[in-house]
Structure 1
Amino acid sequence: MSSISAYGATIEVTQAGVYITPSRLAQALEHVPHLVPIDRITGATELSPPTAYSLGEVELTGTTEVIRFAPGQAANMTTLIDAVTDAVQGNAPALVPGLHFVGVDVETANADWGSICQIGVVRVTDGMQVDSHEWLCRPPAGIDHFDEGNIRIHGITPDMVTDAPDFAAVFPEVVAYVADQVLVAHNAQFDLTAFSRACHATGTPVPHWKFACSLAASRAAKLGITSHRLPVVAQHLGVELDNHHDAVADARACAGIFVQLALRAHATGDIETVFTTLGFSLGDLNTERIYPVLSNPPTVTVAGGRGHADGAAAPTPARSAPKSARWAKAATPTTIPDPNPDADPNHPLFGHVITLTGDFEPYDKGELWEKMAAVGATVAKNVTKKTTMLVMGPWDSVTSKQKRAEELISKGQNIEMWQSMRLFTALGLDPTADDAADDDEPPF
């Protein structure tokens, strides 16, 4: 698969469609890389040829997309027209040769990550989405109640799963669908932990799965966006997401994001090779535990995406940010506020002993502690035998506090596991889309 230089952009034509990467200057003017899907294109029409003094133009027939060519790029224009014609006829090269995986997403009924009520999967071959499937199911017994907050997010109600099979019945079908493929999820630690907890709750064998994370990869890609939530990243990369919080729609978007990140990094090969190129090693789910996705030392940074028609310099070695900066955002304050004894006892946080772990942008922990105490919660720095709730902000790996909470839960302690957006909602906080934390509740 070769790149075609156009005026202010680099074009690549694949089985999926025409991928347009604006130059750095064009991106600075808010032109973003995007894919024009092949099923929307009926051909390529020359509107005007480039001359010695003027630009030429090609329209992707069936769309409003017009690609311009500079003087002297007439041969490139012909190459594009021929490539699009081949793609429309089904003769284009693979999108990302060798990249095979299964995108996955789950929806949960309540705050327990194991309360799976919907599973969506999409099969990717050579970077192309070739098949998808979804299952509605009853969550495992004992954690099968539906919280109003979760229903508001995904729209799945108890009545919708009344006649559905339970998790233990559908999960073997999921395992068969995945087979020996690597999984990719957006915030994979959540989805894989959900599978693990649901399996243990139902006595279902835990599969041995390798997995990658599109959330971690999108953060590392330096996309220039302030939130890495699934819809924000999808929109930025031109990936379709038509029904956020539907499991199969989210799985498709997650898969699309991962493929686009591979394209931007010029990554080819199998999923492990691509994920390594993006800066990470695969995570691992097994019967004993979940080994998280871990970052590898960066090798190169591709400035501005996949290549530039404006003569951008070759990639240069990336510099690691000071480690202290990342940890500073999650630093624990020193002064713990006292709980308000006169707070409303019906508040969902009243009486809870709560520990925070991870990153809570755009808020700092001291601010959240004050608000938690004001509604009657007891703030604790660490997870102990008195802990009744752990609230988790985004982080690149499983924190020691989360590990301790899961250990105590396995021994019978009742600890609610919340994501940061649920805490924000309970405290009446409404971060804007630009400043929002990277996860929803549940984290997709």
Structure 2
Amino acid sequence: MLEDHTPASAWPATYPTGYAVVDVETTGLARDDRIVSAGVYQLDALGRVEDHWYTLVNPERDPGPVWIHGLTAGVLKDAPLFKDISDELSARLADRVLVAHNAAFDWSMLAREYARAERIAPVRQRLCTIALSKELGLPLPNHKLESLAAHFGVVQERAHHALDDARVLAEAFRPSLAAAAGGGVRLPLLECRPLTEWSEPPATPRIGRQPSYGGPSSWRPARKRPACPYPNPGRYEPGGRLVQGMRIAFSGDTSTERDLLEDRATEAGLHVATSLSRLTSLLVTNDPESGTSKTVKARQFGTPVVDEAAFGQLLQDVAPAPGG
């Protein structure tokens, strides 16, 4: 484990008290794919390793890209089901911030597995190490785990093995965390909301059989979003509060699943817009220089822009509509 020299006395009091560094290997990247293995490193408040854990998981379907994770149907056949390891995993995650590289993916896979098992993951916040490396301005050629590992001199022994990937990330996270603490950097923490609307698709393919893509599943049933009941009060004023009725547009990838993020905005009384116009109050994007049509129009119209983390903070204190 790499050493750092940030004294505990200099640690920001607002930082979390513990972390669970997680990596999962899966049958694929779609919403219906399953976890085949999981690795967890438990870290204390300063990022020091307390314990680690690893398990195989029987996905109850074809294992998917064996050439990536190396786990065949034969290897996974006698592995425990997710519901059978969920208690142990929960004990490893409880009261900790989930840390992962591209945390939106690992969290969404875990949330879906917990939903299938009719349980709720004991995770309230997550931290993506890609987002943290951006906050720190690390000079990385790209945002792959191997690049982050190389930057901190961490040796990767078994790429795409859940336990080794979690180890590598834990070793790279500790100096990242220390650098953030030393520089007073705000950690890019995001809320984790459990998924509760899972319905099993018909004829889910079992392990050893080829998957069938004949019918869709439903995590969150397709529905028309209700109209915003409040008039648009105008543009968001940087440094101020969001106001109910403001028109919010999103552009690019988000760490939180887009539909969940839009749900939160709608529940707060905001108008989620599918396009950007002169009436748009605010654009939410993690990449304002991406050159998408929305970011280009935002620059043309002078529409305020914030990133996802800042938007999450603004959602916690939305002002009521005038006269509402």
Give the TM-score, by structure 2 length: 0.55
- Structural mapping, 1:315-326, within 5 Å: none
- Structural mapping, 1:115-154, within 5 Å: 115-125=34-44, 126-139=46-59, 141=60, 144-147=61-64, 150-154=65-69
Bigger Cα displacement from structure 2, 170-179 vs 187-196: 170-179
What is the distance in 1 between the residues matched to 2:181 and 2:193?
A: 28
- Structural mapping, 1:108-257, within 5 Å: 108-113=26-31, 114-125=33-44, 126-139=46-59, 141=60, 144-147=61-64, 150-257=65-172
Q: CA deviation at 1:233?
A: 0.8
Among 258, 276, 280, the residue aligned to 2:173: 258
Inter-CA distance 19–238: structure 2 relative to 1 (3 Å threshold) = farther
Inter-CA distance 279–210: structure 2 relative to 1 (3 Å threshold) = closer
What is the distance in 2 between the residues matched to 1:258 and 1:99?
A: 15
What is the distance in 1 between the residues matched to 2:8 and 2:170?
A: 16
Inter-CA distance 242–172: structure 2 relative to 1 (3 Å threshold) = same
Q: CA deviation at 1:201?
A: 2.8
Q: CA deviation at 1:94?
A: 6.4
Listed one character per residue, the Cα deviations across residues 361-406 of structure 1 (whole Å, up to 9, x for unaligned) are: xxxxxxxxxxxxxxxxxxxxxx999xxxxxxxx83434647979xx
Secondary structure, in 3 states, of the residue corresponding to 1:211?
strand
Q: Which amino acid aligns with 1:119?
A: A
Listed one character per residue, the Cα deviations across residues 189-241 of structure 1 (whole Å, up to 9, x for unaligned) are: 10110011122233334434321111211123221222111111111122232
What is the distance in 2 between the residues matched to 1:95 and 1:151?
A: 47
* Larger relative contact order, structure 1 or 2 (CA cutoff 8 Å, min sep 6): 2
Secondary structure, in 3 states, of the residue corresponding to 2:134?
helix
Partner of 1:102: 20
1:395 correspondence with 2:253: yes
What is the distance in 1 between the residues matched to 2:182 and 2:164?
A: 25
Inter-CA distance 244–402: structure 2 relative to 1 (3 Å threshold) = farther
Q: CA deviation at 1:146?
A: 2.1
Unaligned runs of 5+ in 2: 198-221, 225-251, 263-324
Note if contact 1:219-1:228 (Cα within 8 Å) is conserved in structure 2.
no
Note if contact 1:216-1:396 (Cα within 8 Å) is conserved in structure 2.
no
What is the distance in 1 between the residues matched to 2:8 and 2:259?
A: 43
Note if contact 1:217-1:278 (Cα within 8 Å) is conserved in structure 2.
no
Aligned length: 206
Listed one character per residue, the Cα deviations across residues 125-144 of structure 1 (whole Å, up to 9, x for unaligned) are: 232112111010101x4xx2
What is the distance in 1 between the residues matched to 2:152 and 2:159?
A: 16
Secondary structure, in 3 states, of the residue corresponding to 2:192?
strand
Inter-CA distance 265–176: structure 2 relative to 1 (3 Å threshold) = closer
Give the TM-score, by structure 1 length: 0.41
Secondary structure, in 3 states, of the residue corresponding to 1:220?
helix
Secondary structure, in 3 states, of the residue corresponding to 1:282?
strand
Identity of aligned residues (%): 28
Unaligned runs of 5+ in 1: 1-15, 21-91, 269-273, 290-382, 386-393, 405-444
Note if contact 2:69-2:160 (Cα within 8 Å) is conserved in structure 1.
yes
Note if contact 1:184-1:212 (Cα within 8 Å) is conserved in structure 2.
yes
Partner of 2:279: none
Secondary structure, in 3 states, of the residue corresponding to 1:103?
strand
